[in-house]
Amino acid sequence: MEEQRRRDATDNADRSVAITLPTVPPVDEAAEHDAMDRQPTLTKPPGSLGRLENLAVALAGLSGESRPELAEATVVVAASDHGVVDRGVSAYPQAATRAMLANFLNGGAAINAIADAVGAETLVVDAGIVGEPVAGALDVRIGSGTDDAAAGSAMSRKEALAAIDAGLEIAAADLDDSDIVALGEMGIGNTTIAAALTAALTDASPAEATGHGTGIDDGRLDHKIDVVEEMLRVDGLSPDDRSTDQDPLDILASVGGFEVGVLAGVAIGCAADRTPVVVDGAISGAAALLADAIEPAVRPYLLPSHAGVEPAHAIQLDALDLDPLFEYDLRLGEGTGACLALPIYRSACATLREMATFDDIGLGPDQ
């Protein structure tokens, strides 16, 4: 509680602090048009590759390359802890965050297996788990876990800004050679955080945005919804209380968490470098919503992967105008669904880049 009072007391001083963002370029229309013009010349009936053709054109416009390759892929797995876990919203103890972070670093998690299978590098980030830093993780720790967001702000505005800045720095320093980036996360209690952020950034109610997370039963789900409602109420984010011009940085500070802010910064920083960002499940979806609220120019660079089980995810995808590529009943997080989407995006680009044209095989209009 002392830390909570300190954060609340410093927020007024932090109010003047603004985010300094890199410039996100618009879609490269020339590259997009080149890709679009090439599609009808390829050795296939027009439109026969369906959505793959649209994905290839979109990726050309995002990358600025008329025949993109997406050779280098990275999944960023950002982890932090959340004080709201003390409210009994998860089936797992907070210590599981640290244990899983070590598991990522040792190569024993689902994301390691899937990332290896699809040829993606894994970048593990400690954004602020409880206790000492985890050796081997990229240390951008904003704090040792957030405060209980159902009792007051999860963090100060200054800490929220630091989380965004950390993500921007990761994009600039660690992802500059990546052609496409997948968003992943770990943090016990973060489906509660994602539900609160989703409700605060859209018109959804806490009941609509809150799901079973790690596998709690229906009785604990009702309690979890009550906690999300309280998180919104204590900071004036309930539907009847929130202002229409609510600062997204204030929303992040109110409900957390550190890893969501870091991933939002990663998304914005990658977009500034023309690097497409693949959104995973509900937590990275909350980060995508936050990034879009902070910098609307980022939206074209946000790419869908799967349709997650958590109800917040469908709300997020709808708000961001993203149509999922597949539905595998995934709810693990870690960036697993986003990594599974990488071969689809690479395949779309490969057809555009590598297929022969009708002229190449002697079936052009003059043949």
Catalytic site residue from 2, 69, 334, 354? 334
Please answer whether residues 211 and 225 qualify as being in contact, where contact means their C-beta atoms are separated by less than 8 angstroms.
no
All residues at 6 or more sequence positions from 285 whose CB lies less than 8 Å from its CB, including other chains: 194, 198, 279, 308, 312, 313, 316, 317, 320
Q: What angle do CA 348, 349, 352 make, to 5 degrees?
A: 95
What tokens appear for 183 in the block? 């968003």
Q: What does each C-alpha distance from 52 to 39, 186, 335, 344 come to in angstroms?
A: 11, 31, 22, 8
HSE-CB for 3 with a 13 A CA cutoff:
12
Provide the percentage of residues in the chain whose pLDDT is more than 90. Answer: 89
Q: What does each C-alpha distance from 147 to 86, 164, 213, 256 come to in angstroms?
A: 10, 18, 20, 9
> Given this model, what pLDDT does residue 366 score?
60
Does residue 4 carry a pLDDT above 50? no
In the chain, the amino acid numbered 83 is G
Mean pLDDT, residues 216-230: 94
Instruction: Say which CATH architecture domain 2-17+70-344 belongs to.
Output: 3-Layer(aba) Sandwich (3.40)
Mean pLDDT, residues 16-25: 84
Does residue 15 carry a pLDDT above 60? no
Distance of alpha carbon 237 from alpha carbon 214, whole angstroms: 25
Q: Is 334 a catalytic residue?
A: yes
- Structure confidence at residue 240 as a pLDDT band (50, 70, 90): confident
- Structure confidence at residue 2 as a pLDDT band (50, 70, 90): very low
What tokens appear for 344 in the block? 């689809």
164 alpha-carbon distance from chain centroid:
12
pTM of model > 0.85: yes
Mean pLDDT, residues 331-353: 97
Contacts 24+ apart (CB under 8 A), 130-137: 130/81, 130/94, 130/97, 130/98, 131/98, 134/98, 134/101, 134/102, 134/105, 136/105, 137/79, 137/101, 137/104, 137/105
Please answer whether residues 276 and 303 qualify as being in contact, where contact means their C-beta atoms are separated by less than 8 angstroms.
yes
Does residue 12 carry a pLDDT above 50? no
Tens digit of each residue's pLDDT (9 = 90 or more) over 156-188:
999 999 999 999 999 999 999 999 999 999 999
- Structure confidence at residue 14 as a pLDDT band (50, 70, 90): low
Mean pLDDT, residues 311-337: 97
Please answer whether residues 198 and 204 qualify as being in contact, where contact means their C-beta atoms are separated by less than 8 angstroms.
yes
